[in-house]
Structure 1
Amino acid sequence: MAQVEYKDLLDAGVHFGHLTRKWDPRMAPYIFMEKNGIHIIDLNKTLASIDEAAAAMKGIVRSGRKVMFVATKKQAQEIVTEEARRLKMPFVTDRWLGGMLTNFATIRKSLKKMQGIEKMMKDETTYKSLAKRERLTVFREKEKLERVLGGIADLTRLPAALFIVDVKREHIAVAEAKRLGIPVFAMCDTNSNPSDVDYPIPANDDAYKSIRLITLAIGKAIEEGLLERKQDKDDQRLQDEEEAKRAEDVKAAQAEGETVADDESSPVAVADDAEEQED
């Protein structure tokens, strides 16, 4: 696992928290000190939290399940979208729809509707037969659905975990995940409540460099989990092939043994044995 170093966190400004008057007392264990009216996050705690979160994340992905990335704040959208697409994981970066997890059946209907529109638009005969105004309406509806649901278009079941950049901003997503028992990995600034999430990572969730560093660290853990899963599959396939070959060898040996036994008990063989005994 690629280790994030103390200096990397320092350079990215991960240690800068919010103004002291905006803090959440529940973040006290992760705060190192106060400087110029700003809380400074303890980067040693951040390093330990990253390692713990990365190990847990790798285990989830290795089991073949999906992790949903959630980051709707402007400075996080680009990096989160890029990393989620690279890892082929679902993501939400435009707006969190209420019930996206707790009412997933309805969300799937919207996804099917979006796929139906895409299919219709690919059929030029059907699409061009519509009036100009109708085509414009269909196009706008498709754009709206893609903007909100495009990142989860391939999601067929609930994700196994959530990675969230700002728990205070994404409180609805956190509440839904908590209700369904889905573990939440999240960046928690000094104005957040770390007890709401399973794997809090104390860090500046406003600076682009800080968001990028933490997101890439989690992304690296997911990538390693995917590679280990692929290796497990390859090892299992080789094992299955070896067992199948051994079974074939045993079957062939048994068939050969039965042939020899049949030859020894044939009438000719019995007659030959009788002649030898008379002689």
Structure 2
Amino acid sequence: MQNRLQRILNSKELVTMEEELLISEEEYQKSGVQIGTQLKTKDMLKYIFKIRNDGLYILDLKYTDKMIKVAGKMLSRINPGEILVVAQRQYAFRPVTKFSEVTGARSIIGRFIPGTLTNPNLETYTEAKAIIVTDPLADTQVMKEARNVGSPVIAFCDANNTTDFVDIVIPSNNKGRRSLALVYWLLAREILLKKGEIKDYSEYKFSVEDFESQI
């Protein structure tokens, strides 16, 4: 899996992936995907577009868009039942649940029990060929276990996140209700397209609102 991941990341297709955005910048901005935090890490520096007057770091939407495409391409090659999506933030519960429903991936929302990926004696034990995490800060245990078992990690990373255990970084606001709905909606759409389950985006029958938390 790691070799396949590296081939995708090194692929010439990444060049063409940059040519056209999945949605317009205005649509990204309306959902606040680009709104970061007032703290930044060295790991996320390359993904930051600018800093606002109020001290908020603004994420580069071109990176967000490109890495959703990269993640979608990789995940489309994996049996959906072998993809695990994890979220401990409440605003992510609905997006993750809907993502799993649309793509067939498995999900864990709420508390992640230590050993779930590494201890076969636990009732919650599960195996996964790829892990998606909503926030590396909240999901550190998941990522450490994924590293131990060799499963690549895709993470939605805000300006304040570190990426030590992340294989594919999708820079995005991972705290906002609308932002989380949009990025999971886009990633699910991209997976279905790459798998050939939809011929083009017009066949994608789900709305961003379907993915949005009502809390």
TM-score where L is the length of structure 1: 0.59
Instruction: Report matched runs for 1:1-279 at 5 Å.
Output: 3-19=22-38, 22-35=39-52, 36-61=54-79, 66-103=82-119, 105-107=120-122, 110=123, 158-224=127-193, 227=196
1:7 is displaced (CA, Å) by 2.4
State the number of aligned residues: 177
Gaps of 5+ in 2: 1-16, 198-215
Correspondence for 1:235: none
User: Within 2, Cα distance between the matches of 1:227 and 1:44?
Assistant: 25
* Greater alpha carbon shift after TM alignment, 198-207 vs 210-219: 210-219
The structural deviation recorded for 1:163 is 1.0
Moved over 3 A (4+): 224-228
CA distance 1:84–1:203, change in 2 (3 Å): same
Q: Over alpha carbons, which structure has the higher Rg?
A: 1
Question: In the TM superposition, what is the alpha-carbon distance from 1:93 to its structure 2 partner?
Answer: 0.5
Distance between the aligned counterparts of 1:213 and 1:5, measured in 2? Answer: 12
Please report how far the alpha carbon of residue 80 of structure 1 lies from its aligned counterpart in structure 2 after TM superposition: 0.9
* % identical equivalent positions: 26
* Pairwise CA distance, 1:50: 1.4
The offset of 1:225, in angstroms, is 5.1
- SS of residue paired to 1:59: coil
Secondary structure, in 3 states, of the residue corresponding to 1:3?
coil
1:113-145 deviation line (CA, Å, top 9, x unaligned): xxxxxxxxxxxxxxxxxxxxxxxxxxxxxxxxx
Say which SS state the counterpart of residue 37 (structure 2) adopts: strand
Deviations 1:134-173 (A, max 9, x none): xxxxxxxxxxxxxxxxxxxxx9x51110111101100000
Q: 1:29 to 1:196 in 2, by over 3 A?
A: same
Assess if the C-alpha contact under 8 Å between 1:57 and 1:218 holds in 2.
Answer: no
CA distance in 2, matches of 1:201, 1:163: 10
Residues in 1 aligned to 2:24 and 2:72: alpha-carbon distance in whole angstroms? 14
Given that 1:5 and 1:47 are in contact with CA atoms closer than 8 Å, whether structure 2 keeps it comes out as no
State the AA in 2 paired with 1:165: T
Query: Which structure 1 residue ranges, 5 or more long, are not aligned?
Result: 112-154, 229-279
Contact 2:102–2:188, Cα closer than 8 Å, also in 1: no
CA distance in 1, matches of 2:173, 2:35: 6
Contact 2:48 2:59 in 1 (8 A): yes
Which TM-score applies when normalising by structure 2? 0.75
Cα distance in 2 for partners of 1:65, 1:89 equals 5
Q: If each structure's helix is expressed as a fraction of its own residues, which one has the higher value?
A: 1
